[in-house]
A and B are shown apart, each in its own frame.
Chain A
Amino acid sequence: MSGTAYTTVIGLEVHVQLDTRSKLFCRCSSQFGAPPNTQTCPVCSGQPGALPVMNLRAYELAMRAAIGLNCEIPQFTKWDRKNYFYPDLPKGFQTSQFDLPMSQDGYLDISDPEGAFEERRIGIIRAHLEEDAGKSLHDEEAGKADSRIDLNRCGTPLLEIVSQPDMRSAAEARVYLTELKLLLTYLEVSDCNMQEGSLRVDANVNLHIDREEDLIATPIVEVKNMNSFRAVQRALEYEVERQYELWQQTGRKLGDVGVTKETRGWDDEAQLTRAQRGKEESSDYRYFPEPDLLPVTATGEMVQSVRAGLGELPAALRTRLAREYQLSPYDADVLVNQGRSLVDYFVAVADRCGDGKSASNWLQQDVLRHLKETGTTIEAFAVPGEQLADLISAVHSGALTTSRGREVLTHLISNGGTVAQAMQQLGIEEVDQSELEELCRELLIANPKIVADIQSGKTKAAGALVGQAKGKNPNVNPHDVQRICLKLAAEM
């Protein structure tokens, strides 16, 4: 049986917390990290009689994200109640969107800059708004198994983004998530912080196994509890193997009697998925239109104004950087993936020094390394773009060697100021040509062995003189020393 060809089929449901100041249906703060139950009111704690009022900002952010995902924005959208009992859901229903979501039919293009797979278009079925639930804090201490509820998160606006099952590998799923997060970050609709739960991923996965006659689909599994993109990839890789082996053992397939969608949780420590107990497969949420909220009409002007305000998004930005600054797709990708601020910085540097490739190299090799080492961001970087540009220009003109350029950059990071000031403070100045010739002549006279080596064709021997020259005057250009020494030795 081994070696049977199969296709992996993955669809992702991503919940993103929208970056509003207040909650979706009340004025409570949606800030993460406050002491339990300090950000609640009659509305979000589900008190009898309290009523929701929609936060327009949440709707605008959702529309921004949806348009960024190339979704259609229907003119009419409404709210629905999803009814179920759980202690972190104080109203006994979640206000969500069922049959008329605020957006649908979009897509996100993904590609692998290293070429592991071809560029793919991942369909977006829909993106809809809903409120988050609270958090259950389970305290198993002393066998009492008490549960505590924190309602601070209750009512925080979420955008649920449901993809088509268009991904064909765990690696693609990871790239999709990375690209989605980048897009949402560019759109400034969410901080997408997985640790704080602003971005959560559930995956649906199964296999399509090619047989001679027909195509067999394994039962669909929903995988939850993945707390990083790496965990998503690992969990899906694991699940693909598990499903294939299970199919080989049992032959169970989608559509067989008794086969339902299974929910499994990823155990990151054990690196495996486990069947999750509880959630009944037949759960009936009894959706119906939320009578306490009015349907929302998206006017053409609103859609247009949101569209106009999106700014340049990652995919377009990559293409433009590659074209206008002669960058390789890989370099453009690295820069764009760092976020809009870094791209803005790059553009400022490249435009001023007139050399995109060098600007990209300096950013990637020096600036990004510095940011990574110090754990800071480009916004906090001490060297303004124009100074880095001047530095690059100085290296171009030969006024600085690359290595002295790095010294200047280090100096600028610590002390600020201009490139000229830094060079002065570091004692860097151009060495006069006749002065340089005099220095080389002195060195040759002092090293007859090297002169003899050069004259016998071992030009590499001149390298030793470069070190000595730098020792005597740190501002000399090594290339010039080499060139002059060879010339003078030949004349001797």
Chain B
Amino acid sequence: MTLIEQSATELLGLLKRREVSSRELTGAYLDQIDAHDQQIHAFLRTDRDRALQQADLIDRRRAQGESLGSLGGLPVAVKDVLCTRGAVTSCASKMLENYVPPYDATPIARLKEADAVILGKTNMDEFAMGGSCENSAFGPTRNPWDTERIPGGSSGGAAASLAASMTPLSIGTDTGGSIRQPASHCGVVGLKPTYGRVSRYGLIAFASSLDAVGPLARTAEDVALLLGVIAGHDARDSTSIVQPVGDYRAATRRPLEGLRLGVVSEHFGEGLDPEVAQTVRDAIDLFKDLGATVREIAMPHSQYAISAYYIIAPSEASSNLARYDGAHYGMRAPEAEWRDGGAEENPLVQMYRSTRAEGFGAEVKRRIMLGTYALSAGYYDAYYLKALKVRRLIAQDYHDAFEQVDLIVGPVTPSPAFKLGDKSEDPLSMYLVDLYTVGANLAGIPAISLPCGFSSDRLPIGIQLQGAALSEELLLQAAGAYQGQTTWHSQRPELA
């Protein structure tokens, strides 16, 4: 195994023992990015000089015997949806192509405090809206396992960068499955934490009540390491959780005993690819071998999850994205298009119209329109309010389930990664890929996606574990135990 293919935890050991410097490590990943990212396009931007400078600084401090933060010189890739002070944060949108935030998002600030080296910003679906990374205004990311295929989304760059060994750690965000689904398609581990466990301050909002920042890595322990850095209360986020952060790394090494797993039978029904179904069932059998008991549980309202999600998320988005109007920052349509344009509208309205027409991509516009409609007078009760009621029922389903079982286990996605362009013309079929993942966002509970096998086309398949609120330690314990028995996570694609 080459240096860059090792797990973050192993690399941290090398760094601590000074068997490798942060500069060497950072340089190796940057070289890998240089070598392969023209093909994969996992990154929107890297800053070699800045990253190496940061690495040097950490190496120097280590040499001087200073105690370092818990990431002590490890490189991390960050989804381009988290604000980085002084460095472009675009959300993969033309609207913010040149936007330089004046502040660091809290998770970024915590990475820096932990002495991480930020390698660059990863590609994503524009404003995190999508499940394929095809909605990036700057071109799609390709799946390192098969470059004809999508890496998943919206954190497609985050997952692909790990699969392609371009980083040992990656930060993503998950509003309806955007960490777990690409993790599954790229054969890496992705954790969506409990809503509020990681601060959203500086996360460019898609749907505020659903958005979660979370770690992606190649092993459960690496995910635990990264979660431990970014989790914790933040006074700048009113929805942030005050409970203390657990010892996630220790949890991944704890032996599994008497785990009660629940299976939702509807999740193995129509629409699920038979290969995925079989692979997930095999994984469940392995949990049984590890002493878990499995029982069927009812989630009577889960069939409405997608419908509720595609009302609530766009409604919030329609309001969250109102600020991109050309008046204060970001893109503004060229003045000639709206000033004295002879339009019936006043120039201000015309500026809004032109700016938003040119700055946003089709999917973002589609969701803004959906949400604007759902919140409009006369429709609010029938759509938004009803969706909120469904959301409460879904949360109640989970609550009832977790009285009987510790974790719910099932597929992450209905099928392995599909080909680029396959679903682009059919938004509805694209929305359905979120079928198994949106429930956790609606209920605010944590969930993890783990590699559990490959399709006959040698495409990664993932398994999802969902737990009650703040059950991250249990999820990581189960994930660690599973990975102790399997090697799916240590397999790497051949890169051209």
Contact = CB atoms under 8 A, between A and B. Distances in A.
Contacts of A48: 83, 89, 91, 96, 99, 101, 204-205, 323
B312 to A, nearest CB: 9
Interface stretch (A49-57, A110-118, A393-401): A49-57
A294 interface: yes
Interface stretch (B215-223, B369-377, B395-403): B369-377
* Residue from A53, A292, A293 having most chain B Cβ neighbours under 10 A: A292
A90 B327 contact: yes
Nearest to A82: B319
A448 interface: no
Contacts of B83: 47-49
A457 interface: no
Of B200, B321, B325, B327, most A-chain CB atoms within 10 Å: B327
B201 A50 contact: yes
B322 A83 contact: yes
B273 interface: no
B384 A47 contact: no
A455 B316 CA distance: 101
Contact of B238 (A42, A284, A293): A293
Interface of B is mostly: loop
Interface string B298-338: 00000000000000000110110111010111000000000
A50 B384 contact: no
Given A47-B102, A48-B99, A85-B352, A92 B325 contact: yes
Contacts of A45: 328
Nearest to A83: B319
Contact of A294 (B91, B238, B377, B380): B238
A286 interface: yes
A87 interface: yes
B315 A288 contact: yes
A51 B204 contact: no
A49 B204 contact: yes
A49 B203 contact: yes
Contacts of A93: 319, 322
Contacts of B375: 83, 286-288
Contact of A85 (B204, B239, B322): B322
Given A48-B83, A51-B237, A93-B319, A87 B327 contact: yes
B208 interface: yes
A135 interface: no
Contacts of A46: 323, 328
Contacts of B316: 288, 291
A50 B102 CA distance: 11
Contacts, number: 99
B105 interface: yes
A283 to B, nearest CB: 10
A284 B376 contact: yes
B348 interface: yes
B250 interface: no
A231 interface: no
Interface string A134-159: 00000000000000010000000000
B103 A42 contact: yes
Nearest to A46: B323
Interface in B182-209: 200-205, 207-209
A298 to B, nearest CB: 17
Interface residues of B, number: 44
B286 interface: no
Nearest to A92: B322
Contacts of B101: 42, 47-49
A48 B318 CA distance: 14
A17 to B, nearest CB: 23
B209 A49 contact: no
Residue of A47, A53, A87 ringed by the most chain B CB atoms within 10 A: A47
A307 interface: no
A473 B260 CA distance: 109
Interface in B81-106: 82-83, 89, 91, 96, 99, 101-103, 105
Contact of B329 (A47, A51, A294): A47
Interface in B363-396: 372, 375-377, 380, 384
Contacts of A288: 315-316, 319, 375, 380, 384
Contact of B325 (A50, A54, A85, A292): A85
Given A286-B372, A288-B315, A51 B236 contact: yes
Interface residues of A, number: 28
A379 to B, nearest CB: 37
B357 interface: no
Interface string B225-236: 000000000011
B481 to A, nearest CB: 36
A51 B236 CA distance: 7
Given A49-B101, A286-B375, A291-B209, A92 B238 contact: no
Nearest to A53: B238
A15 B174 CA distance: 40
Given A49-B202, A51-B201, A149 B322 contact: no
A192 B319 CA distance: 32
A91 interface: yes
Contacts of A42: 101-103
A293 to B, nearest CB: 5
Interface in A67-123: 81, 83, 85, 87, 90-93
Interface in A263-322: 284, 286-288, 291-294
B327 A149 contact: yes
A52 B237 CA distance: 7
A255 to B, nearest CB: 20
A46 B325 CA distance: 11
B80 to A, nearest CB: 11
Contact of B103 (A47, A52, A284, A294): A47
Contacts of B209: 291
Nearest to B235: A53
Nearest to B103: A42
A353 to B, nearest CB: 55
A42 B99 CA distance: 13
A296 to B, nearest CB: 10
Nearest to A54: B238
A176 to B, nearest CB: 31
A54 to B, nearest CB: 7
A293 B208 CA distance: 10
Contacts of A81: 319
B323 A91 contact: yes
A51 B103 contact: no
B315 to A, nearest CB: 6
Contacts of B238: 51-54, 292-294
B260 to A, nearest CB: 33
A294 B384 CA distance: 19
Contacts of B82: 49
Nearest to B385: A288
Contacts of A83: 318-319, 322, 375
B204 A294 contact: no
26 contacts: A42-B102, A47-B83, A47-B103, A48-B91, A48-B96, A49-B82, A49-B201, A49-B203, A49-B205, A51-B200, A53-B235, A53-B238, A83-B322, A85-B325, A85-B349, A87-B325, A87-B328, A87-B348, A90-B327, A91-B322, A92-B325, A286-B375, A286-B376, A288-B375, A292-B238, A294-B238
> Lowest 8 A-B CB distances belong to which pairs?
A92-B322, A291-B209, A291-B208, A286-B375, A48-B204, A49-B202, A87-B327, A49-B204
Given A51-B201, A54-B238, A85-B322, 17 more contacts: A47-B83, A47-B101, A48-B83, A48-B323, A49-B200, A49-B201, A49-B205, A51-B237, A53-B236, A53-B238, A81-B319, A83-B319, A90-B323, A288-B319, A288-B380, A291-B316, A294-B238
